[in-house]
Amino acid sequence: MTTKASFTSRRNLLLMASAAIGTGMVPMLSRSDSDGHDDYDGENKYQTNSNTTYSLAQTGLTAKVVVVGGGMAGATVAKYLRLWGGSGVDVTLVEPNASYTSNIMSNLVLNGTRTVASLGYGYSDLTTKYGINLKQASVTSIDSTNKQVTLSDNSVLSYDRLVLAPGVEFMEAYGLIQSDYDTKTPHAWQAGPQTDLLKTQLAAMPMNGTFVMTIPKAPYRCPPGPYERACLVADYLKTYKGTASKVVVLDENLSIQAEAVNFSYAFNTIHAGVIDYRPGVTAISVNPDTKSVSYIDQLSAPQSLASNLVSPIPPHRARGSASGGWLANANLNNSTDGKWCVVDVLSYESTSKPNIHIIGDAASCGLPKAGHVANQEAKICADAIVRILGGQQVDSSPVANSACFSPITASTASWLTAVYQYDPSLRKMLPATNGGITAGSTATEASAITNANYRQMNTWFNTLMSDSYA
């Protein structure tokens, strides 16, 4: 049986891990530009440098946990289930791909600052350091009654607890089909081949050409990401393709969804005359061959424009939630629109199926859909599962941190951070300030777009990815 002391120790570790990942946030910004980290070498041997070492907790618990999806959420929850649950908690990670490619920082591939290969993370540390079983396959069905998962290789895994972190899938929209995304009009909102294709297409644009991108209605993965992309593409085009180049942003939302102050400054000052931001548009239609685009503007007037390159970010939904998909067949896509999975944010357990937890981008929980948030949700979920297995109550006041950096040019960046706390009256995670939930609290963005932010961005990213995969 897990002791009260071990729960306290684990909660302290969770808070310290959150703080370590947040070293790119406000505390770090008040320091020098050094890339050093503060380390902790207490009972659990948590350190944030490249020589990270951990010891599995001694809980005496025994259980089988299956984790589906090896992205930020799945990798983190698998790791911390072993760390906090101990050797008796058998964890199997189901992931069809041999490695994970980070969506975070992938916009920097477009201007040549990074490569897709530099964003790859394998699973060897998870298997060798923590004893996680890796199953390279995909899910075909879930039998929640008998607690079994059937995989694409026809094997069947039994579980006591199932954690789903499937991420998102991209819907056909704007008159485009999946093959258009792959070959003609890449959205590149899943880092990989489409990212390289979009980079190649950008490099092939004519002098002073026009780039068009679209932004779907929220919620979508990474709220500041599209605006970051607009800035980086604008910076690249005016540097290499002429200052008369244009980046037309067709946003289905009525306003900028994150870092509104800094992105407005970037659009109107740093990239003035290049970025043409058009919010509140509807009825977007894209011709993948001619690259012509039509839409209805905010004043309900039909508009059309010609371009040299279109990168539409289509609406997305939880992977497997389409009609006939494995998530839908298990009745887990229980949001009103059928696109997301509603969960209890104290444990991330599905509100429609017991013993099944959903974390990351697929979950509907009020938190942003972002990699850092996925890491945080995974830890809250892992802590809750270990408590449940030990016959304890889940933490009634979880805290999560949302943090990200947004490059604005090839050498400057902004940042955004928010602390979320649980509101028991609304049963939701809400932005908090001054150590508690305050009505109207919002995320905090950087006071300026600077070179120092850009340098610190790399430290934040490396720390986050190490916490999930190393």
Q: Is 60 helix (H, G, I), strand (E, B) or coil?
A: coil
Within-domain flag for 429: no
| pTM attached to this predicted model | 0.90
Distant-in-sequence, close-in-space partners of 449: CB < 8 Å, separation ≥ 6: 262, 265, 266, 270, 408, 412, 413, 414
Range of the domain at 262: 172-314
Within-domain flag for 451: no
Within-domain flag for 330: yes
Number of domains in the chain: 2
- Mean of the pLDDT values across residues 1-18? 44
- The verdict on 163 and 190 lying in the same domain is no
Within-domain flag for 414: no
- The verdict on 106 and 140 lying in the same domain is yes
Q: Count the Cβ atoms, other than its own, within 10 Å of residue 452.
A: 15
Instruction: Give the C-alpha separation, 54 to 208, whole Å.
Output: 53
Please give the pLDDT value at position 151. Answer: 98
Q: Read off the CATH number of the domain in which 252 is found.
A: 3.50.50.60
- The verdict on 310 and 375 lying in the same domain is no
Condensed to tens digits (0 to 9), the pLDDT of residues 157-172 reads 999 999 999 999 999 9
Chain-centre distance for alpha carbon 220? 10
- The verdict on 189 and 154 lying in the same domain is no
- The verdict on 105 and 41 lying in the same domain is yes
- The verdict on 281 and 391 lying in the same domain is no
Helix (H) or strand (E) holding 284: strand 282-286
Condensed to tens digits (0 to 9), the pLDDT of residues 263-300 reads 999 999 999 999 999 999 999 999 999 999 999 999 99
Within-domain flag for 422: no
Quick one: pLDDT band at residue 52, thresholds 50, 70, 90?
Answer: low
Average pLDDT for the chain: 90
Whether 405 contacts 413, CB under 8 Å: yes
- Based on the number of CB atoms within 10 Å of its own CB, is 392 exposed (0-12), middle (13-18) or buried (19 or more)? middle
Quick one: pLDDT band at residue 433, thresholds 50, 70, 90?
Answer: confident
- The verdict on 103 and 242 lying in the same domain is no
Condensed to tens digits (0 to 9), the pLDDT of residues 331-358 reads 999 999 999 999 999 999 999 999 999 9
Condensed to tens digits (0 to 9), the pLDDT of residues 198-244 reads 999 999 999 999 999 999 999 999 999 999 999 999 999 999 999 99
Q: Final residue of a domain: which of 250, 281, 314? A: 314
Whether residue 71 is predicted with pLDDT greater than 60 in this model: the reply is yes
Q: Final residue of a domain: which of 314, 347, 382? A: 314
